[in-house]
Structure formats: structure tokens, C-alpha cells
Structure 1
Amino acid sequence: MSKTDLEVSLPSDREISMARSFDAPREMIFKAYTTPELLKRWLVPFDSELGVCEIDLRVDGKLRLVWRMEGQPDLGLTSIFKEIVPPERLVATEIFDGGAESLSTLTFEERGGRTVMTNTIFYDSRETRDFVLKTGMSAGVSDAYDKLETLLATMPAA
């Protein structure tokens, strides 16, 4: 894996896995992923903004995000946390408004002084997974992760 490229793989006919290496400790990345004020600064691909960013970080707690882009309808996501192991792992259901439920497993693994963040999403069917792939999701994730890398460089070490 190169240091900054997003690697996308298909572990099964119903999964997408996306991994990227960051030059930051996993505690810092976990914090950036679970703190609304920080999430709003990086989980905004292209010219979007997070108009709604609510996180109740506990098992069975809810995450609610709504992206806004000029000239586009709002895009909402609701997640329910199923497993929280700071700073190693987050598991949550995900439902985009009007879509099918998926299961996201996000891991933070330290390797050689860097942290590899991997998000594996399990979909209800191959058709749903293939549809998601065709939306250009990986380009949006890559853009957001570039913003996360920039944010991490400005955050004080824990």
C-alpha cells in the first residue's frame, strides 16, 4: 500500500473494503472519526458540507449525517453503533436515506509508525454493492481522506 493512496478491494460478492495509511497515531484518527467538530472538517468530499453531524458514541447509539451540495438533493446517513473498541474498531449499521442497510467495520491498525484505517462494508446483495461501486464512492472517500490527512497534520499529539 502506498502511503496515501486509497486501496479498494472486493473481499466477497457483497463487500467493499477501503484502506488507507495515515501518518498519525490511531488514537488521533479515532478521535477525528468520532468527534462531530472534527468530522465536519474532513468528511466532506468535494464541495459538500455536513449540515447535520450528530454522534452518540455508545453501543446502540446513533450517528446521523446529512451532506449538502449545491444543486443536489441532501444525502442522509443513519448508523447505529454495534461495537466500539477505542481506538481499534467501530462496527455500525449504515442506512442511506431510502437505501438498504449495510454493516460497516472500521479498523485502525498501527503499522511501522503509521496507522492503516480500513473500512469494510457488507451489503445486503451483490447488486447493492455493485450499485455503490458505480456511484463513484471511492473518489469521494479518497477526497475526504485527503482532507483527513491535512487535518491530522494540524492536530496536537495526544
Structure 2
Amino acid sequence: MSTSTTQPTAPETKIEADPNLPTITITREFAASPDKLFRAWTEPELVRRWLGPKDTEMRIDHWDARTGGSWRYVAVRGGEEIASFYGSFHEMRPSSRLVQTFTYEGAPDGVSLETMTFSDLGNGRTLAIGVSVVESLKIRDLILASGMDVGVNEGYDKLDVLLSEL
């Protein structure tokens, strides 16, 4: 008699780029309510715990999560600052929508407009869809080639753990 055990698999994160538009769309299902997911995206202590690759810590320098607010954080690896980012919150609709800008300080002309939507799937599950719009296909392709997929996937893995604790 043979038995097999099935290990749960992590939800798939889809990172897609329309060949004709300077956009990146990231889609992921989470085992959490829209309320929890929105909190994880907007409360600085929670954001700090999940954002970015596993070997990176986030230091939040400024965080004013409200329509018209702004933010800045720094990625730290091995005690050294490796990158910093800033932006503005343009729209906050609790538990459903977040619109913000995102700028890497190393390329201040490359502002991205990001819209996150959180759709309740029922049974404690939420679909998160992030759409980023940048200035050109060239900038979009540089972002995609930067290794951002590693940061997104590892960050979402950390977010799964965080959401299970909320």
C-alpha cells in the first residue's frame, strides 16, 4: 500500500506586461479578507514586515497613508542601505482600492502610477491586482529586468505568513 501526501502550494503570482503598453500587472490571490490585505498594504509596521526580498529589511522613514499623504522607505541588506523609494498616496478606499506613485530614488524621472484593487472572493480569500503605469516601454522593460519578480514573489510569501498572524 502506498500513501502520498500533498504539500500545499503557494498561490501563483502572475506578472504580466502588455507588449503594446508601458504597464506591469501583478495578480495574486491571498487567504485573507480585503480588510486584512488593505491593512497590510497601508499600516507602516505591517508593510515593513513583508515588503521586498527575504534578505532585505525595509526601514520606513516617512508614512502618511491617507489620500494626499506621502511615504518613503529604504531597503537595507546586511546593515547597508541598498535602495530608497518614495511616493504619494493619491486615493485610499479602505479595503478596496489604493492609488499611489512609486519612485526609485536612483531614477527620479521614472515615476510609476500604481493602482491596487482588492476583490473579495468569499471564503476568506481576496484577489489583489496591481497595475503600474510608467512613462515608456523602455522603462517598463528595465523594471522587469531588474529582478523585481524576486522581490514581489518573496515579499508575497512573507505577506502570506503575516496575514495568517493578523
* 1:6 aligned onto 2:13: yes
Q: Which amino acid aligns with 1:85?
A: R
Any residues of structure 2 matched to 1:7-156 within 5 Å, and which? 7-11=14-18, 12-70=20-78, 73-99=81-107, 100-113=110-123, 114-155=125-166
SS for the counterpart of 1:144 is helix
CA contact (8 A) 1:36 1:53 kept: no
What letter corresponds to residue 74 of structure 2 in structure 1? V
Q: Which shifted more, 72-81 or 15-24? A: 72-81
- The question of whether the paired residues in 2 share the 8 Å contact of 1:79 and 1:95 is answered with yes
Q: Which runs of 5+ in 1 are unaligned?
A: none
Q: Which amino acid aligns with 2:30?
A: F
After TM superposition, the score normalised by the length of structure 2 is 0.86
Per-residue CA shift, 1:101-140, capped at 9, x if unaligned?
Answer: 1100011111142101111100111000000000110121
Aligned-partner Cα distance in 2 for 1:42–1:65: 13
Q: How big is the alpha-carbon RMSD for the aligned residues of Structure 1 and Structure 2?
A: 1.7
| Distance in 2 separating the partners of 1:73 and 1:7 | 29
Q: Which moved more, 1:5-14 or 1:28-37?
A: 5-14
Give the letter for the 2:13 counterpart: L
Structure 1 contact 109–116 (Cα < 8 Å) conserved? yes
| Equivalenced residues, count | 154
Q: Rg bigger for which structure? A: 2
| Residues 1:87 and 1:65: Cα distance change in structure 2 (over 3 Å) | same
Query: Does the C-alpha gap of structure 1 residues 38 and 71 become closer, same or farther in structure 2, counting only changes over 3 Å?
Result: closer
Q: Residues 65-107 of structure 1, C-alpha deviation per residue, up to 9 Å, x if partnerless?
A: 1111138652111111111111100101111103211100011
- Normalised by the size of structure 1, how large is the TM-score? 0.90
